[in-house]
Every structure is written in structure tokens, then in C-alpha cells.
Structure 1
Amino acid sequence: MTDQGFTAGEIDTSRAHPARMYDYYLGGKDNYEVDRQAADRVIEVSPDVVLGARANRDFMHRAVRFVAQGGIRQIIDIGTGIPTSPNTHEIAQAVSPDVRVAYIDNDPIVATHAGAHLLGNGSTGFFLADMRDPEKILGHPTISRLIDFDQPVAIMLVSVLHFVSDAEDPRGIVATLREAICPGSRLVLSHGTADFHAATADEVQGAYGKAVAGLRLRGHDEVMALFEGFDLVEPGLVQAPLWRPDGPVPDDAESRRRGVYAAVGTKR
């Protein structure tokens, strides 16, 4: 089921959108010239952004598999982005076909792809909402249909909170979501950082200035603070390629090129 909640005239392709820029970093084609121009400016300043995007996507795959193998049977994927197979429900349902997934994004372009790529069965749903309004997300009918908050839930905030400014209170957003889920639930979170690219951080953040959402890269301690109320599973908060790798691990020099922290936490 898709709740688009917009008309064709409301789709704004005059400004770059981070979801479509991310699709471009991953080599996708579901983006517009304005997105490609903005993304190319970022790549020109910091070519490693492409490596970070791919490492982040690989982390998502491993983390979804991990939570599904751990018994989680319902997932709320906030900031879904342009669907790129395998998607969250494909990975989770390969572990257990009864996993239910609610997808949320604020980009109408994502909604246009949802029917073909995200809604293969009655166990998945998509609706338009903004992570800055977690109460709206939690109260949406699609959530009510798919999610039982008396049972453990995995909430996914993968590479999205760095588009939330300090004034928009990312810790408060996570806290609202945390209070809705029962102990044993999981938080899957990744976040861009300038800890390894300090020299280009201002230019990268500036390149997002004309996009529909600005960029706020955060340091390790700031990202750790988002996990308040959660116990991190091993290996803790690390660069994305180092979180439970299932293949060759980049050496230290190569790892430093991936400016993304990632972790999974369990609600106490």
C-alpha cells in the first residue's frame, strides 16, 4: 500500500534532493540534472563521498540481515531514499518471509518508485512523511497496520540524521521514536562525519546549501549521543566498513576514506 499524499505538480525538481544525490553517488539513474550538478560539486570537493555512500549501503544490508536473524519481524525504515535492490524488505524477508516493513520518505519522487520496488506484498507499505515529525510517522495508518509496538521493532535511520540541523533536534527525534518501542527493539543508524575529512568539511556542507536539506556532519561523540537509551552491539560505533564485515576489510588508510559512522543499538 502506498500513501503518496501529493499531486504531480508538487514534485519539485528545481532543487537538489539528498535522496536523489545519494542515488547518483551509488551509480543510479533516478535523479535529475540539478541533483547531478549538486552531487558533482560534492564529489569535486571530496571524491571519497562515493566510497562513503557505497560503504553505507553495504552496512545497511548487513544490519538488516543482522536484526532479522536476531528475531526482529518488523522494521520502520525512515528516509528510505530511491529504491535500490536489494531493498530492506528483500533482505529481511530472505531471512524470514514474515518480516513487515514500513518505508517512509519525504521525497515525492521516492513515492513514484515505491509501487514497483517496495511494495511486493502485503507485508510492506510506504508513505510520505518527514523524520522531523516523528509523531506523525508513529501515528500514521500504515504504521498501525504493519507495526505492533508491543513487540520488538527495528527503526532504521540510515544516513539521514546528518540532514537534520542542531536546531531541529536530532536527539529529540530519536528519543521520540525510542519511547514508542519496547525493550529489545533495535536502532540501526549511520551518520556522515568530518572526523576523517576535516579539511573539506565546510565545502562539502556548503555544497548542500542549495539542496532541500542542508548537511550537518557530526563527530563520534555527537553520533554516540544519538544512541541514548540503547546498548550498542559489538563492535560499537565504528566506520561503516568495520561494522561486522562479511568480506575483506579496508586497511587503515582506505578505511579513513569512508566518512560514515555506523552502529546498531538495543533498547534497554
Structure 2
Amino acid sequence: MTMRESGALANGGTPQTAIDTSRPHPARRYDHWLGGKDNFAADRESADRIAKAFPQIRTAAQENHRFLRRAVAFLSAEAGVKQFLDIGTGLPTSPNVHEVTQKIIPASRVVYVDNDPMVVSHARGLMTSSPQGTTTCIQADLRTPDTILADPAVRATIDLTEPVGLLLIAILHFLDDNENPYDLVARLVAALPSGSYIALSHATLDPLPEDVIEQLTALTGTGGDQGTFRPRTRADVARFVDGLDLIDPGVVPIVRWRPDRSPQAAASVADTAMYGAIARII
């Protein structure tokens, strides 16, 4: 399949760089947990070490994807959002954002953003838009929001005078506090018009037993060989949507965010250890 895109590279998008297979990457590690094949030995080793400390991690990854699908379906069907900016999209896992929204609104437009060139390459090869809609992917990093917003492919796909669904799914916990994650989110939110929405999910240690917390903390400390991992408390996660209009039920474990909607949540709070929220930009 080919991807219907706006020509990110041809129009000035960030050029791809060489894939570093010697270090684990969150997107490829996540792919391994979901049973995918687009990962390398370093990713699998890292994923398996984390799974040894927290065996439910594969369940957490599956439930995070279910939350994403519920969130996109809500934004499309109930909020009427027709365009999405998905930052930190990860490797394609069907149904993807464009498949969920374009089933509801065929003319929906989606921009996927990831800093891993492997993700971008696979996305362009596998994500096929509906004939009425548009799907594109660019290589960029959440740490440079202005670059994302100014990218020609983003500008060609997303109309920033109309409501946008900003998706930050399982990405913010890879930013340490010294990287100013709250400021980065605030800059993205400030660039979107009133009536836009932000949907996020974020890892937490809140429901986990002390021994698991100790193992995960020792394994995933800032700057370690597993990469930065900064789980946050509910209060810390809520700061990302401070001042926005929270959609019921607010900042809650992902399995408690409208769990009766399709696809229904199928795990416990402790098995997922992740908060989710959707908020409207006023």
C-alpha cells in the first residue's frame, strides 16, 4: 500500500536520519510489547527487562491503544473534530488514528509525527488514507513544537483556524522535568484555536506496589541505557491540562476513561498504571 500524503520531505519536512539499532527506542520497544516485528535486539532486550520488573506491561500497551481508539472516536463522533495532530505516534498498529476517525468522518485529516526514522518510513508505507481524507507523516520531535507547527506538510494538511485534536499518547513520560514538558505542551495548546482538544495518556507509579516501583525506578532512571522514563502522579499529569475544560470523567486511569465505549477496557488499574484525559481548549 502507498500512503496518501502531502509530501513532507519534498515540501521541506525534516529529512530522515540513520536508524540507531544499538539503543532501544520507545516506539520499537512498544511494538515488541504489542507483538510486532519492527524492532531490533536492543529494543527487545530493553522491553524484556522492563517486562520482568512489570509483567503487565504488554497489557498496559494494549489498553493504551484501546484508550487511544476510544478518545479518537469520541473526538470524531461527539466533538466533531475532523483533523488530528498525533505526536509520538509510534509504529503503525491497526486500527490507527486515521482509520478510526475516517470511519466516522471520511474526510478527516491526520498528521503523524515521530522522531524515529523507522516509524516515519513504515508509516508512509502502510498508512493509507480514505479517498476523501488526507494522511501524512513527518519526522520531528515533541521537544521542538515550533518546528512541528511550521512544517510545510503540517500546514498543508492541518487548518489551524479550525478545531484540531492534539494527541499526546504515551509520550510525555519520556520527557524529564528539565526538558520543560509543561511548557512544550502549553506552546502546542496556545497554537490551536478555541474548540480544539488535547488527549493524552501518561505512565504513573501510583497504583503499583513498592517493590515494583523500586525495580522500575532502578531500571529506567534518567539517562540510563533504557532511556529517560519519568512517570508522574495524577496531580502532575493534571497540570498538563490545567486551565482547560476537562471532559468527564477527567484525569483518570485509562481503563476508567469511558470504559463502556468501544473498544471496552479489559484490565485493571494496577495492570495498566497509566492516566488518561481529554480536555477542550477554551
TM-score in terms of structure 2 length: 0.89
Offset at residue 201 of structure 1 (A): 2.8
Is 1:201 matched with 2:186? Answer: no
Match of 1:102 in 2: 111
Match of 2:127 among 118, 122, 129: 118
Q: Give matches, 1:146-185, under 5 Å.
A: 146-185=157-196
Q: Match of 1:229, as an amino acid?
A: G
Query: Is the alpha carbon distance of 1:261 and 1:115 closer, same or farther for their aligned partners in structure 2, counting shifts above 3 Å?
Result: same
What is the rounded CA distance, in whole Å, between the counterparts of 1:107 and 1:29 in structure 2?
16
Runs of 4+ in 1 over 6 A off after TM superposition: none
Structure 2 counterpart SS, 1:97? coil
CA RMSD of aligned residues (A): 1.6
Deviations 1:49-95 (A, max 9, x none): 11211111100001001101121011000001000111100100000
Query: Which of 76, 93, 114 is residue 68 of structure 1 equivalent to?
Result: 76
> 10, 21, 44: which is aligned to 2:29?
21
- Supply the distance in 1 between the matched residues of 2:106 and 2:249 (Cα, whole angstroms): 28
The one-letter code of the counterpart of 2:213 is A
Which blocks of at least 5 consecutive residues in structure 1 are unaligned?
A: none
Query: Which string of whole-angstrom CA distances, capped at 9 and with x for unpartnered residues, describes residues 121-175 of structure 1?
Result: 6611111000011010011001110111111100000000000010001100110
Deviations 1:203-237 (A, max 9, x none): 324434214x4100000000000002311101111
Equivalences, count: 263
* Percent identity of equivalent pairs: 39
**Are the equivalent residues in 2 in contact too, given 1:104–1:127 (CA < 8 A)?**
yes
Alignment correspondent of 2:43: 35
Distance 1:136 1:145, change over 3 A: same
Q: Which runs of 5+ in 2 are unaligned?
A: none
TM-score (normalised: structure 1): 0.93
SS in 2 for 1:257: helix
